[in-house]
Amino acid sequence: MANTKQHIVVEPRPDGRWARQKNGTQRAASLHDTQAAAETAARAQAKREQTELVVKGRDGRIQRRDSYGNDPRSSKG
């Protein structure tokens, strides 16, 4: 089985609400009326699970990425 890193994603829905869900899942963990509310909930989950947060805009393109923990060290020593 491939070792895939889980992401918490905030993305818009056609009905105008915002979804918080893990990548690769069909159902949203929660739906929110505003992007800010969905992002707050997703950020708390990403910190708790020490994973990456991906925030998409209304056009579906990635606006921001934030990583919480388990980042490899970039410099030797």
Residue 1's pLDDT is: 42
The reply to whether 30 falls in a domain is: yes
Look at strands 52-56 and 30-32 and give their pairing. unpaired
Which pLDDT tens digit goes with each residue over 19-75?
999 988 889 999 999 999 999 999 999 999 999 999 999 999 999 999 987 666 666
Whether residue 50 lies inside any domain: the answer is yes
Domain hosting residue 51, numbered range: 7-62
Is 47 within a domain? yes
Task: Indicate yes or no: pTM above 0.85.
Answer: no
The pLDDT of residue 77: 57
3-state helix, strand, coil split of the chain in percent (to 5) is 20, 30, 50
The answer to whether residue 67 sits within a structural domain is no
In a domain, residue 43? The reply is: yes
Q: How many domains does the chain have?
A: 1
Query: What sign does the CA torsion over 10, 12, 17, 21 have?
Result: negative
Residue 76 lies inside a defined structural domain of this protein: no
The answer to whether residue 71 is domain-embedded is no
pLDDT at 70: 66
69 occurs within a structural domain:
no
pLDDT of 11 reads 94
Supply φ then ψ for residue 69, to 5 degrees. Answer: 90, 165
